[in-house]
């Protein structure tokens, strides 16, 4: 079993620096900050446990069959509305001939 500090690969010097910085930043409130941090971690773990229980409960009880797919439809014919072009249309200007 690895310790918390072994998980982050912190050596004794890094731990000492973190403790000194904690005392400098928080001073007399350090025990209070630690208490709040501990309560936050406990609440987070409770919430995660509740989510895990909820997920396990819903997946074992409810099994839904996949929805049946519609059979493919035959292709639809679309009427073309674009005008048909003719070679000698009366309203088309002719290029000048030289």
What is the mean pLDDT of each successive set of 10 residues along the chain, which is 98 residues long? 63 90 83 88 92 76 67 78 64 68
- pLDDT at 38 (0 to 100): 92
Domain ranges of the chain: 4-60
pLDDT at position 1 is: 44
For 23, 35, 37, 50, 60, the CA distances from 46, given in Å and listed in that order, are 29, 17, 14, 6, 21
Percent helix / strand / coil, the chain, rounded to 5? 55, 0, 45
pTM of structure: 0.38
Phi-psi region of 56 (alpha: psi -120 to 50; beta: other; left: phi over 0): alpha
């Amino acid at each position: 079993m690895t310790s918390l500090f072994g998980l982050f690969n912190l050596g004794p010097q890094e731990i000492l620096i973190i403790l000194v910085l904690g005392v400098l930043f928080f001073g007399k409130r350090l025990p209070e900050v630690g208490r709040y941090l501990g309560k936050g971690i406990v609440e987070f773990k409770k919430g995660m446990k509740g989510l895990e229980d909820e997920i396990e409960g819903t997946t074992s009880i409810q099994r839904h069959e996949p929805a049946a797919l519609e059979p493919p439809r035959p292709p639809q014919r679309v009427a073309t509305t674009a005008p048909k072009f003719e070679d000698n249309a009366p309203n088309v200007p002719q290029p000048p001939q030289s």
